[in-house]
């Protein structure tokens, strides 16, 4: 399965991509996760990306594309992948086409998960996670039993720096200006399917699986 999960920040792409990748036996490749891991390790890539991430801006295309090119060459990606958070600009989409054709392959399916802006702000600003075990929460829709503490291990929950309201609004602005046009790019090529990203996680997952079946790829 070669799948690109497309959509604004907060649409639930990461959550869905993780489940889909496990179900279909392919790696989940999230450019945001790769940057955050690089940052935790203090590598130059991570430190460089941090400046852009903290400001809600996109990391430069050349950096992202080089990183994805390398990641797709890893062995586990031979059987396919679920890409989450890439491509985010037309230049990245063009570079991605070039990477694929260099390998004698072409774009698989692109599923766009659509959610209204105000709902995205609510979801992102309420998001919390456990820095120790990775459990995810939302202050309104999935609160921990004790406010601010992880149900599983009791650690203090944290908020991603770029989930503060000011940065969230900037990320949505950047999405609308630079990333939304990528959907039209794929629509013109006949590979885009739009699905409703509102409602529960299992409902959205069902819609994605149906879209995958309908396309038969």
Per CB under 6 A, the list member of 6, 81, 86, 137 interacting with ligand AMP is 86
Is 8 near ligand AMP (CB under 6 A)? Answer: no
- CA dist., res. 158 & res. 136, Å (int): 10
Cβ atoms of 96 and 125 within 8 Å: the answer is no
- CA dist., res. 52 & res. 25, Å (int): 32
Is 32 near ligand AMP (CB under 6 A)? Answer: yes
Q: Cβ closer to ligand AMP: 52 or 185?
A: 52
Block residue for tokens 């991430």: 53
Per CB under 6 A, the list member of 7, 12, 27, 85 interacting with ligand AMP is 85
Is 7 near ligand AMP (CB under 6 A)? Answer: no
Block residue for tokens 């890439």: 86
Q: Cβ closer to ligand AMP: 64 or 192?
A: 64
Is 35 near ligand AMP (CB under 6 A)? Answer: yes
- CA dist., res. 178 & res. 171, Å (int): 10
Q: Annotated catalytic sites, by residue? A: 13, 88, 127, 160, 171
Q: What residues are paired with 142 via a beta bridge?
A: 138
Is 27 near ligand AMP (CB under 6 A)? Answer: no
Per CB under 6 A, the list member of 4, 38, 59, 115 interacting with ligand AMP is 59
Is 171 near ligand AMP (CB under 6 A)? Answer: yes
> DSSP letters of 24-67?
HT--EEEHHHHHHHHHHTT-HHHHHHHHHHHTTPPPPHHHHHHH
Is 192 near ligand AMP (CB under 6 A)? Answer: no
Block residue for tokens 């409602």: 199
Q: Cβ closer to ligand AMP: 128 or 171?
A: 171
The 192-196 sheet, strands edge to edge? 28-30, 81-84, 2-6, 109-114, 192-196
Is 64 near ligand AMP (CB under 6 A)? Answer: yes
Task: Choose the binding region for ligand AMP from 53-61, 101-109, 149-157, 180-188 (rule: CB under 6 A).
Answer: 53-61
- Interface residues with ligand AMP (CB under 6 A)? 9, 31-32, 35, 52-53, 57-59, 64, 85-86, 88, 92, 162, 171
């Amino acid at each position: 399965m070669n799948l690109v999960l497309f959509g604004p920040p907060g649409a639930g792409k990461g959550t869905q991509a993780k489940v889909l990748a496990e179900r279909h036996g392919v790696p989940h490749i999230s450019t945001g996760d790769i940057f955050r891991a690089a940052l935790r390790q203090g590598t130059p890539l991570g430190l460089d990306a941090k400046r852009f991430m903290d400001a809600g801006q996109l990391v430069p295309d050349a950096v992202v594309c080089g990183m994805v090119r390398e990641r797709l060459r890893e062995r586990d990606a031979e059987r396919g992948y679920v890409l989450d958070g890439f491509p985010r600009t037309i230049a990245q989409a063009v570079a991605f086409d070039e990477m694929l054709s260099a390998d004698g392959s072409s774009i698989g399916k692109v599923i766009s998960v659509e959610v209204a802006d105000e709902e995205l702000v609510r979801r992102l600003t309420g998001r919390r996670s456990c820095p120790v075990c990775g459990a995810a929460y939302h202050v309104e829709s999935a609160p921990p039993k004790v406010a601010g503490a992880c149900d599983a291990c009791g650690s203090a929950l944290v908020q991603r720096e770029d989930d503060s309201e000011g940065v969230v609004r900037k990320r949505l602005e950047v999405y609308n200006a630079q990333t939304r046009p990528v959907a039209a790019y794929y629509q013109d090529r006949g590979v885009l399917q739009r699905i409703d990203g509102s409602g529960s996680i299992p409902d959205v997952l069902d819609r994605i699986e149906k879209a995958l079946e309908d396309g038969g790829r």
